[in-house]
Structure 1
Amino acid sequence: MTAPIEVSGSEAQAQPEAVLAGVGKKAVQGRSLGQIAWMRLKRDKLALGGGVVVLLLTLMAIFAPVLVKLFGHPPDQFHRELLDPIFRTPAGPWGGMSREHPLGLEPINGRDMFSRIVYGARISLLVAFLATLVSVVIGVVAGMAAGYFGGWVDSVIARAMDVFLAFPLLLFAIALVGVVPDDASFFGLFTLKDNTLRVSLLIFIIGFFNWPYIGRIIRGQTLSLREREFVDAARSLGARSPYILFREILPNLVGPILVYATLLIPTNILFEAALSFLGVGVNPPTPSWGGMLSDAVRQQLYPIAPHFMIIPGLAIFITVMAFNLFGDGLRDALDPRAR
C-alpha cells in the first residue's frame, strides 16, 4: 500500500488542475422566484396555450373596430337581402359564411356574426376584468386585515364574509338591474347613457359580492405569514402595522392573488353571460355573447340555423377554458412546493 502524496509549499497554494478547471467557466448565478416560475410555466404547454388564447382575445377586444373594418361589417348593419325570404335564415351553406361574412349572418335581421362576436368580447372581458379587480382589491384588504389583526376585527370581517356568501346574488342582480333605468342623472352633473350605467352596475354587483371568496384565501395566508421571522424582525425594528401589511406581507401574497384572479375572471364571464341571457345585461343592440345566446333560444331558429347558437356558445367556452388552463398552470408554477 503506497503512502499518500503530500503537497506543500507553492504547490499547495496553486493546484494546476484546479486552476485550469475554472478557466473560462461562468459563475453560477442564482434565479429569482419569477424566473423559476417562468421556467415551470414554459414546461406546461396547455397553460401556455391558454395564455396565448387569453392574449389574443384581449387584443381582439381592444382592436375590435380595426378588425371589424378589415374583416367584417358594422355590428348593427342589416343584410336582409342575403336572407331566405320565407324562413328568414341565411341563404347558402354554413349559415351564410363567406369571405365578406366569415362567421355567417344572424337570422331575421341578417347582422354580421363576426362583428357581433368581436364586439361582444369587449363587453364580456371589460365586465369580467373590472369586476375581478373590484373583488381582488376588497378581498385582499379585508383578508389581510382579518388575518393580521385578529380579535374583533377578524370576527366582524368573517361574519360579513358569511353574509355575502349566503346572499342570493343572481336574484339580487336580476332585481336590481331590472329596476334601474337605462339612463340616469347624478345630481344633475352628468348623465350615463348607451349602456354605461348597465355596465357599471354589472361591474359593481359582480365585483362587490364576490370578494369573500378571495378574502378567505388571503385571510388564511396572512394568518400564516404574520408568524414568520421577517414580520417579527420588522416589528422589532419599530415598523407599524400598515408598513408590515403592505411592504412585508402583501408582496408574499402576489402569487395567490394572481392565481385566484385568473380563476375568478372566467366565473365573472359566465355570470355576465347568464345575466345577458336572462335579459338583464346590456341592452340591445349592443352585442354580448349571453344576449346572442338568448336571441337564439328566444327565436327558436337553432334547428335550421344552428350557427346562431353554436358560435357565441363556443366563444364563451373557449374563453372560459383558456382562462382556466392558464390559471391552473400559473398556480402550479407559483407553488413553492412544486418541482
Structure 2
Amino acid sequence: MTAPLDVTGSQSEAPPEVVLEGAGRQAIQGRSLGRIAWMRLKRDKVAMTGAAVVIILILVAVFAPLLVSWLGHPPAEWHREKIDPAIQAPIGAFGGISRDFLFGVEPTTGRDLFSRVLYGARISLLIAFFATLLCVLLGTVMGMIAGFFGGWVDAIISRLMDIFLAFPLLVFALALAGVIPDKAFGLSGDALRISLLVFIIGFFNWPYIGRIIRGQTLSLREREFVDAARSLGARNHSILFREILPNLLAPVLVYSTLLIPSNILFEAALSFLGVGVRPPTPTWGGMLADAVHNYDVAPNYMIFPGLAIFITVLSFNLFGDGLRDAFDPKSR
C-alpha cells in the first residue's frame, strides 16, 4: 500500500503500522459472527423492547414473593369482606381495584388478583422454559444424528418425526393428565403436575425443531471444515459436537425463543381445560377458566391474566423475530 504523492512529487511507502492502525493508531479488530449479530440486534428497537419486557417478566416471576410482600397479599388468602354476599361479586368499581388490591379481587373468594397473576407467571414461565429445554435437547440430538449419518438412520428418525407430528397431542395430553393419580413417580401435588406438563409439552414437540436441525446438518456435513476434520482423523462424535454443533447454535437459539411462547399458550390451554396445575395454585390459564363464569361481574378477573399471556407471548415473538433477522440478515 502506498501513500499519496508528497509536495516534491515523489511517492513514498507507508509504514506498516500506519496501514494497520490508521490515523487514530487503533488496531483493526476482527468481528465474530456473534458480535456482528449483536450489533444488528441492538439496532432493532422492536426486538430490544421485546427482550427488555422478557427480562422484566422473568425478574417479576423470580421475585414474586418479594413484590407481593410489598404491594399485595398472599395469593391463597381469602378476603370475604371484599365480596358482596348477595351477588358474590367484588365490592367497588372495576372489580374491587384499590390501593391495597392493585388488580382487584377474585369473585367469591376475594383473593388478591395482583398476587395471583405474579405467582401465575412463575408456574407458566417455569413450565414453558423446561418444556422448551427438553424439546430443544431431543430435537437437536435427533436432528443431528439423522442429518449426519443419513441412510437407514435418517429414515427411521424421519418416520419417527412423522409419527409424532401426526399425533393428536392435545387429546393425548388431556387423557394422560386426567388418568395420572395424585401421587406417582415419587412426586405429588404441584411438582407432579408441573413435571407431567413439562414431559407432555417437551417430549411430543421435539420433531418441529428436529426437522430444522436435520436440514441444517445435511448442509453442514458437506462443508469444507467437516472434510478437513475427517482428513485429520477426527471421529464422527468429534465432528458432530466440535464442528457441526457450534454452527447450529444460532438456529437453535432463534427457534427456542419462538418455541417458548407456543409452550406458554399450550400450558395455558391445558390449565384452561382443567388438566394443568390444580387449584389453589394460580396459573394464567386456570384463572381464565375460572373467569369465564364471572366475567360479567368482574371483568378484571379475565382482563389481567389475559393481558399477561398476551404481553408475554408478544414479547417473546418480537425478540425471536429480531434474533432471527440478526443471525440471518438476508431475511430482511
Structure 1 length-normalised TM? 0.91
1:182 Cα shift?
Answer: 1.5
Aligned AA (1:169): L
Aligned AA (1:255): A
> For residue 240 of structure 1, what is the aligned residue in structure 2?
235
Secondary structure of 1:321 counterpart: helix
Counterparts of 1:338 and 1:178, CA distance in 2: 43
Counterparts of 1:62 and 1:79, CA distance in 2: 25
Range with bigger deviation, 135-144 or 175-184 = 175-184
Aligned AA (2:153): V
Secondary structure of 1:127 counterpart: helix
8 A contact 1:124–1:269 mirrored in 2: yes
Of residues 243, 263, 266, the one that matches 1:268 is 263
> For residue 206 of structure 2, what is the aligned residue in structure 1?
211
Task: Report Cα offsets for 1:256-283 as digits up to 9, x if no partner.
Answer: 0000000000000000000000000001
Aligned AA (2:57): L
Counterparts of 2:177 and 2:12, CA distance in 1: 84
Matched ranges for 1:191-206 at <5 A: 191-206=186-201
8 A contact 1:82–1:91 mirrored in 2: yes
In structure 1, stretches of 5+ residues that fail to align are none
Secondary structure of 2:279 counterpart: coil
> For residue 306 of structure 2, what is the aligned residue in structure 1?
313
1:12 Cα shift?
Answer: 3.8
Structure 1's consecutive aligned runs of 4 or more residues displaced over 4 angstroms after TM superposition are none
1:304 Cα shift?
Answer: 2.1
Secondary structure of 1:337 counterpart: helix
Of residues 313, 322, 326, the one that matches 1:329 is 322
8 A contact 1:276–1:288 mirrored in 2: yes
8 A contact 1:182–1:195 mirrored in 2: no
8 A contact 2:88–2:108 mirrored in 1: yes
Aligned AA (1:277): F
1:114 Cα shift?
Answer: 0.6
Counterparts of 1:23 and 1:42, CA distance in 2: 28
> For residue 288 of structure 1, what is the aligned residue in structure 2?
283
Counterparts of 1:259 and 1:35, CA distance in 2: 16
1:301 Cα shift?
Answer: 1.8
Change (3 A) 1:43 1:12: closer
Counterparts of 1:56 and 1:313, CA distance in 2: 18
Counterparts of 1:221 and 1:328, CA distance in 2: 19
In structure 2, stretches of 5+ residues that fail to align are 1-7
Matched ranges for 1:1-339 at <5 A: 7=10, 12=12, 22-184=22-184, 186=185, 191-297=186-292, 300-335=293-328, 337=330
1:67 Cα shift?
Answer: 1.0
Structure 2 length-normalised TM? 0.93
Secondary structure of 2:90 counterpart: coil
Aligned length: 323
8 A contact 1:124–1:289 mirrored in 2: yes
Counterparts of 2:13 and 2:109, CA distance in 1: 90
8 A contact 2:124–2:284 mirrored in 1: yes
Change (3 A) 1:278 1:35: same
8 A contact 2:95–2:297 mirrored in 1: no
1:176 Cα shift?
Answer: 0.4
Counterparts of 2:169 and 2:13, CA distance in 1: 76
Change (3 A) 1:23 1:306: closer
8 A contact 1:54–1:323 mirrored in 2: yes
Change (3 A) 1:338 1:281: closer
Aligned AA (1:304): V
1:336 Cα shift?
Answer: 5.1
Counterparts of 2:270 and 2:285, CA distance in 1: 7
Counterparts of 1:22 and 1:212, CA distance in 2: 51
Change (3 A) 1:154 1:102: same
